[in-house]
Amino acid sequence: MPHITAEYSANLADRVSIRDLVDALHQTIVDSGLFDVPAIRSRALPREIYRIADGNPENTFLHVIARIRTGRSVEQRKELGGALLAAARKVLAGDPRPIALGVEIHEIDPEMLFRHITIK
């Protein structure tokens, strides 16, 4: 762990490199030093059907969810959330459209996590 999911309105990809976004979020997790690199997964999920606020088609959204195993302090989780938010804002900086941007950090119950990993 962690698994990073960036869910975004499809119109965001018109002016923002989603590849750059995923790379920036992934590197932020690596740079945190809180996780074993082989366990990090980052992905982006476009949403083709959405409505944001007043329905203005120029509105965009990005919601980043970091699912991590337990064991990090509240301060570490807050710092991680802030770093992910900053990384996303940097990638989005060139797009002047209105955006709803959020980051959530979720802890996964280790008793409910079942895995098989051969990546080293």
- Domain extent listing, the chain: 3-112
Helices then strands, counting H and E runs in the chain, come out as 2, 4
Reduced to 3 states (helix: H, G, I; strand: E, B; else coil), residue 8 is strand
The mean pLDDT value for 35-59 works out to: 95
Mean pLDDT of the chain: 94
For 48-93, the pLDDT digits (tens) are 999 999 999 999 999 999 999 999 999 999 999 999 999 999 999 9
Q: Are strands 99-108 and 60-69 parallel, antiparallel or unpaired?
A: parallel
Nearest to 67 by CA among 103, 31, 99, 38: 103
Residues in a beta bridge with 8: 46, 62
Percentage with pLDDT > 70 across the chain: 99
Q: Which CATH superfamily is domain 3-112 in?
A: Macrophage Migration Inhibitory Factor (3.30.429.10)
Q: Please, how many CA atoms are within 13 Å of residue 102, restricted to the half-sphere of its CB?
A: 8
Other C-beta atoms lying within 10 Å of the C-beta of residue 86: 12
**Helices of type H across 55-111:** 74-92
Whether the per-residue pLDDT at 118 is higher than 90: the answer is no
Residue with tokens 């018109």: 14
Whether the per-residue pLDDT at 19 is higher than 80: the answer is yes
